[in-house]
Structure 1
Amino acid sequence: MAPLLATGPLNLALVGCTLAIVYFVALSIYNVFLHPLRSFPGPFLWRMSHIPRSLTLVRGKLPIHMKNLHAKYGPVVRISPNELAFSDPQAWKDIYGHRSNGEPELAKYELFYRVVDHIPRSIINAYRDEHAFLRRQMAHGFSERAMQAQEPIIGSYVDLLIYRLQERCADGVTALNMREWLNYTTFDVIGDLGFGSSFKCLEDSDYHPWVKLVTTASRQNALLTALSNVGLKLVKRAILRLGNLAVKDNLALVRETLLKRIENGIERPDFVDGLIRKKKEGVLDLGQLVSTSSTLIIAGSETTATLLTGVVYLLTTNPDKLNLLTKEVRSAFTNDEEITLTSVGKLTYMLACLNEALRRYPPVPAGLPRQAPKGGCYIMGQYIPEGTVVAVWQHAINHDERFWTKPYTYAPERFMGGAEFKNDQTDAMQPFSVGPRNCIGRNLAYAEMRLILAKIIYNFDMTIDDDSRDWLRNQPAYNLWDKPALNIHMKPVPAGKQR
């Protein structure tokens, strides 16, 4: 009996492994040959299993690789057993836009938007009615009137940025890591507009712990999403329970800062004032307020800093474009004080430079997935079965040769009606998304980016350091970019010498 007892557990393990292999093979055959999405093209292994997509995601290569998949398989690619990627302007409207004839909107895909599912819902992953409620409370903080009231706040941090840069590059030789300085600025601005006080990044010339958590959280979320996709939810739950996760630390910091903001009791034209009032009325709980505020911090700071870092890189590696922009900025103003949130609106070439940077280096390069509703839906005239995960991947569509002339060339002229780019389909680029859940902070983002860039261009001559010339090459991209240092030589222009 002893030998039989000894081999019993081994036999059970072999049976278990055999059943698992049989299940995997049967599921793979179903996914490739019998699945409702079997007619859509895509890499064989990706159609068979979630594993290839998940591995590419964890490596930080998925948003960039999506361009290659579209180039090979066309505008609709099956990138996992139950997911389709789209590259077409019409897909933006069909997936994210308003639906006609009473058709339901495509819901946000829970496994992506709620990586940590026990955290209260925020404006980014709230259900439709809840989202509309939250957006109404925040609308005043993003209005034109509020932006005028916020101008002294934003302007003070931009002026401090210029002062700090001048302090550190008086010799015109030292290269500064502009990734850091732009992050400092946008986080301080959003901290003040969201919580009534900055994170003191510019004051201390150093990162606040909050800033450091953002990129870490992006990498961790990619891993947790991949684990969910490949069926390892038990592993994901163990990590959530035992792991030291940036998202937990992030929310703790938000909660602490919000409570101070509430205790101050000061009403001000910022982003969370309306939400705080609803919290005091008992309509909104603290968990929802914390989650939504955390989303605002990331969306209103990291993405803006990313775009500004990208445009500095693209301009300094295309000095002819930088020269044109410098001439526009310095001929438009007689002194630094004239550069305001309002006055920068007349800089047409600057707007083109920013738009082209949004195309070449979208702050969110990935796809923002939705899910086909019950009964399915039509996207680009094709029937999509219910439950299918669908998205337009921003980096891929922004570099699709069908919509852009010389897609890897930085050419602001394409947004100014340049003859060479007359056939470009600029509606293929939607960095703020479309439809009822588009970005509420679009106008503020543009104004802030214009102001910061105009002040830098007016006050400094910039050249890129040799060690940063390949800054964009092989840069990891998750839902956000994992940006390396961007070293730029900043030579101050003496007052009165800008013209």
Structure 2
Amino acid sequence: MEGLLSSVFESGVGSLSALVLGLSFGFCYCFTTAVYRLAFHPLAKYPGPFLNKLTDWVVFHRTTKGDRHLLEWREHQKYGPFVRIGPNTVSVNSLSGFKAIHGSRLSNVEKSPWYLTVIATVGSAMTSSIIDRARHAFHRRVLDNALSDVAIKSAEGIITENVHIWCKHLVDGSSNPESWSSPKNIGEWSTYLSYDIMGDLTFGKRFNCMDSEEHRYVPPLLLNASKMVYVLGMLPFEPLIRPFYRTRIMNILGGQMARDNLKFNDYAAAQMKERIAAETDDSKPTRKDLTHYLRNAKDPQTGKGFNLTELCGESSLLIAAGSDTTSVALSATIFYLLHNPTALDKLTSIIRTTFTCPEDIDSKTINNLHYLRGCFEEALRLSPAVPAHLPRKVLPGGLTIDDHHFPAGTILTTPPYTINHNEEYYPDPFSFRPERWIVDPEAPDDDISSERSVALARSAFTTFVIGPRGCAGKRLAYSELSLTLAHLLLSYDMRISPGTEGVGGGDPNHKNEGRRRPDEYQLDECFLAYRDGPIAEFRPRKN
């Protein structure tokens, strides 16, 4: 009996010793890591919140809340143009930094490992997520060919047809031609329009979101899929779970977001396969939509095109970029016009004196309406569709920005919301002022409309990025926004629905300082952005 007790006692002491040893080792590791990151790390000299310097869990937590863009803007206000937001990550808020990181094929950076999460969750690479430069260049050349001037010009009729349907829905609910319509949530209706246009332009078919509920479940799927990729990609141990994406295990552990991600990407692939099958059916006429151009475009340098797996990956990109980002831009522009009546009246007057009927509206004339373009560029500046996350990894040899040298492996990010609200480039940064995009030859140098000020504003405009990784669909987005706003304001009046003035804007009593501006269109960041409102009413214009 005594031997047994002695054996149990010795076993307990041994287990306790192992536990103490393990805890001691863990403490020593955490302590030495903290000391290194605070005092000896190559980024130790850069200011930032204390906890951010110690761990990436802080940024991970921010991605779950939707406020990362607001918090990092505030931190740049406090700490300056370089803020250490993670142990190995620096956020850069300067024009020189933006150009050094994104502006040239020679920039000594590549997309960060976060984009590997995108590839793993989609199931294949797409142009926006490819890290390898040569492979990206191939994809981009093919995509640019598909989005050529000829292709965009041919899309005008399709866009206009959808816009006419949209406008008719907006005036639904009015009891007579002079009364206001029933209230419409523009955040939702902009999504319906952009999704139907995307379907028409990409897959040769309208999804009829404006007319029925059948496909309206897809845009929320996209946002949930975006949030899943965004959040999980920021986990410090993400590489360990990457093999489980798109599996039953992840669908259980990841919950609804994981299931929505799988459902969305499978949906996108199915749409592409269906469209390809239609094109190979000789009994049907060929529709020259984006899929047609993608399927038939060849890399000018190699003569190669996309294979089926690559086309399915591009399908997810085209749905996201072709519908959600344009929807944010349109709903934000309408929000800011409704909350700035002087700008709305001016733009309406310009459009109604330029065109006499909808048939007069064409891209050539629209491109000369500088105030129209200024309105949606200002909205895109204030509320960018991708508010915070553009990470790049520094390559061997390092990168120097304004005498600051960043060693290989450093992650640099240039948050669009932060740079777009930098007072150095955009005086009075939270005000909606379309004039800042239009040169007035008689304006003094310190005026926002001076040639120098407008050039500075344009060079610092981060919403579409710049350089070889810039948005391939920018011209198409501009065409869609211009045609939509021109047709809408030519034929219809609009107003904020009485009693809903606060929808879409900030709450003066919100606990988060960045959410307190009633005249700022609020974005709940998820790499892309959730949004709501404004609530508007419409009626045919009075002659």
- For normalisation by structure 2, the TM-score amounts to 0.84
Whether the 8 Å CA contact 1:76–1:84 is kept in 2: the answer is yes
Write out per-residue CA displacement over residues 85-141 of structure 1, whole angstroms, 9 at most, x where no aligned residue: 111111222101215xxx564110122453453622111122222222222222233
* Distance change (3 Å), C-alpha of 1:451 and 1:283: closer
In percent, how many aligned pairs have the same letter?
28
Partner of 1:486: 534
Residue 391, structure 1, aligned to residue 405, structure 2: no
Whether the 8 Å CA contact 2:503–2:534 is kept in 1: the answer is no
Partner of 1:378, secondary structure, is strand
Partner of 1:156, secondary structure, is helix
**Cα distance in structure 2, aligned partners of 1:17 and 1:491:** 70
Residue 69, structure 1, aligned to residue 97, structure 2: no
Partner of 2:475: 443
**Cα distance in structure 2, aligned partners of 1:236 and 1:122:** 17
Partner of 2:485: 453
Partner of 2:97: 91
* 165-174 vs 480-489, greater mean Cα deviation: 165-174
**Cα distance in structure 1, aligned partners of 2:204 and 2:305:** 22
Write out per-residue CA displacement over residues 239-267 of structure 1, whole angstroms, 9 at most, x where no aligned residue: 75322432221121112111111111254
* Distance change (3 Å), C-alpha of 1:193 and 1:39: same
**Cα distance in structure 1, aligned partners of 2:163 and 2:291:** 22
Structure 1 segment 48-197 matched on structure 2, within 5 A: 48-99=54-105, 103=106, 105-112=108-115, 114-115=117-118, 117=120, 119-126=123-130, 127-169=132-174, 171-172=179-180, 174-197=182-205
Structure 1 segment 418-429 matched on structure 2, within 5 A: 419=443, 420-421=447-448, 422=450, 424=453, 425-426=456-457, 427-429=459-461
Of 385, 388, 392 in structure 2, the residue corresponding to residue 366 of structure 1 is 388
**Cα distance in structure 1, aligned partners of 2:173 and 2:213:** 11
**Cα distance in structure 2, aligned partners of 1:111 and 1:21:** 29
**Cα distance in structure 1, aligned partners of 2:297 and 2:491:** 43
Whether the 8 Å CA contact 1:138–1:272 is kept in 2: the answer is no
Of 256, 262, 265 in structure 2, the residue corresponding to residue 251 of structure 1 is 265
Whether the 8 Å CA contact 1:178–1:309 is kept in 2: the answer is yes
Residue 353, structure 1, aligned to residue 375, structure 2: yes
Structure 1 or 2, whichever has the larger Rg, is: 2
Of 236, 257, 275 in structure 1, the residue corresponding to residue 294 of structure 2 is 275
* Distance change (3 Å), C-alpha of 1:437 and 1:226: closer
Whether the 8 Å CA contact 2:102–2:467 is kept in 1: the answer is yes
Write out per-residue CA displacement over residues 152-187 of structure 1, whole angstroms, 9 at most, x where no aligned residue: 211111111112222344541521111111111111
Partner of 1:37: 43
Contiguous gaps of at least 5 residues in structure 1: none
**Cα distance in structure 1, aligned partners of 2:110 and 2:268:** 27
List structure 1 segments (4+ residues) > 4 angstroms apart after TM superposition. 3-15, 232-240
Whether the 8 Å CA contact 1:141–1:269 is kept in 2: the answer is no
Give the counterpart letter for 1:148 in structure 2: K
* 124-133 vs 321-330, greater mean Cα deviation: 124-133
Whether the 8 Å CA contact 2:120–2:245 is kept in 1: the answer is no
* Distance change (3 Å), C-alpha of 1:298 and 1:5: same
* Distance change (3 Å), C-alpha of 1:329 and 1:39: same
**Cα distance in structure 1, aligned partners of 2:437 and 2:12:** 74
Give the counterpart letter for 2:162 in structure 1: Y
Partner of 1:77, secondary structure, is strand
Write out per-residue CA displacement over residues 184-243 of structure 1, whole angstroms, 9 at most, x where no aligned residue: 11111111211111222123267533212121122222320232xx33654666675322
Deviation at 1:467, TM superposition (A): 2.7
RMSD, aligned CA? 2.4
